[in-house]
Amino acid sequence: MQVTAFASAARTATPTAVTLAAHRATSIAVVIDCTASSSTPSVVFTVAGVDTLSGKAYTLLASAAITGTGTTVLQIGPGLPVTTNVSANAPIPDSIRISPVHGDADSITYSVGVHIIR
């Protein structure tokens, strides 16, 4: 199943994080597609698990800073290699949160799709 976390749009500031249901997922792939940028933008994407009891989020994987056009894929699941800023060997919780954090106000256009593999 694929869901859209962030539709394609030019952004200059950090948007509100998106929480998605990932119940019974065996792994996830977060596809970040940057199609345009101006000047020197910088965005870091964090994929977090959400504890359903407390509502608190905990980091599963964070990307390296994305500074221009291109496609970045973040993968999380049991048995995956542990590769800094790329993949994590971790179980998938029932809810995940995708949080982009902009480092400056330079415009960058991106979309974020999440593939939930069951």
Q: Environment class of residue 88 by beta-carbon count within 10 Å: exposed (0-12), middle (13-18) or buried (19+)?
A: buried
Q: Environment class of residue 30 by beta-carbon count within 10 Å: exposed (0-12), middle (13-18) or buried (19+)?
A: buried
Q: Give the C-alpha separation, 28 to 60, whole Å.
A: 11
CATH of 2-117, one of 3.40.50.10470, 2.60.40.790, 2.60.40.420, 2.60.120.260: 2.60.120.260
Q: pLDDT tens digits for 39-88? A: 999 999 999 999 989 999 999 999 999 999 999 999 999 999 999 999 99
This prediction has a pTM of 0.95
Q: pLDDT tens digits for 19-44? A: 999 999 999 999 999 999 999 999 99
